[in-house]
Structure formats: structure tokens, C-alpha cells
Structure 1
Amino acid sequence: MLAAYWRGEITLRKLRVLIQYLPEDSPARWQATDGRPFTIRDAMMWRALWSVATVAQQLAGKDKNAFENMPAYPWSKPLNQNTYGSFGDHTPEEVMDYLDSL
């Protein structure tokens, strides 16, 4: 499309309309989603799933800051996540003491 515009085969208005009405999961839009197809519907479902899981954790008395840790996409790592997994209710020092005692 862009090449056709530069060659003078289509007008700027037609180029804008063609780009504006591309499907949401078109490869031309993947730069905004880490190179993967991800539509608005997918984003809404991801947020709904994360919300249900977070409410369940909060009702169980676990993670109180789960909403703050929500990753932007299902394939990205949660924000503020410990790279070694969850320590549960223990501090990193308690975990290290336990590992040293093995």
C-alpha cells in the first residue's frame, strides 16, 4: 500500500482509509503488541480473566497487590514478579535459611 502511494497510484486519503480499516489482528498492527496478533476482544478477555483470578486470590487472603502486577499481554511476565517463583508467606531470608539447612 505504501509503495503504491509513493508511486502515485493511490491518494493519501485512500492510503489512510486502507490503513484505518485493517483488521485488528493484521500483521501491520503487530508492532503495538510485541509482534503478535492481539485484538481488543482478546485484551478485554485477558483483563476479565486476570480480574477473576485476582479477586479469587484476594478472597483467599493471598496476594493483595495482584492488580498492580498484571502484565500487558498474556505472554509477558507479570510486573514485579520474583524470577525464582513465589515464597508464599515467607521472607527471602527464611527461604535462604531453609535452603542452607538442606
Structure 2
Amino acid sequence: MHYAIIAAGEGSRLVQEGVALPKPLVDLDGRPMIKRLIDIMLDNNAESIAVIVNEQMTQVRQYLESLKLDTEFRLVVKTTPSSMHSFWEVSRAFPESGKFVLTTVD
């Protein structure tokens, strides 16, 4: 199965609450939220994983680029006006006839 994560939001509500880290890097159960999702996908035999982040998320992009994964990984860096646009952009990372599971980082 192919998996995708939309992690392209601004995280404005967390910022309002004083959280300095971008949402995908917030610790959950001892790991950044996005790594926890990636690990779940790997535990479920992911053929490939694609993640979309916006262009301002340099810290998240750098974190993802540093990961060493045992499956094909595609990182899409694009600022989109909505989650639907992010869905469309990340869907292009997969074979046209393939199915994939999509989630948001939270």
C-alpha cells in the first residue's frame, strides 16, 4: 500500500498557545508526530510514503530529508490554498492506477 501525509498547515492554533515547534515536530509518545505516523505506515508494509509540506516549513522539510527509511519516500514541498489542493498535489506522487491511504499529520 502507498501512504501519504498532509503536513502543510500553518499550525496557527499551536502558535497561539505558545508552542514553538511546527505541529509535525511536536512530540507525541516520545517521537515527533510525523515520525510516529511514518513508523505506523512502515509497520504496515508501506510500499512508499509521500508527505507534503508548505514552503515555509523548512524545519520540517529538513527533518524529513534527514530520515533514513526502508521504503521509497517522496517529499512534496508546495504551499497550497487548501487541504484539497494539498491532497491533489500529494496524490501525484503515486502511480496513476494505485490506491493510497491519506492522513493529516494530526
TM-score by length of 1: 0.31
Structure whose alpha-carbon radius of gyration is higher: 1
Determine which structure has the larger helix proportion and give its number.
Answer: 1
TM-score (norm 2): 0.30
**Larger strand share, 1 or 2:** 2
Higher RCO (C-alpha under 8 Å, 6+ residues apart)? 2
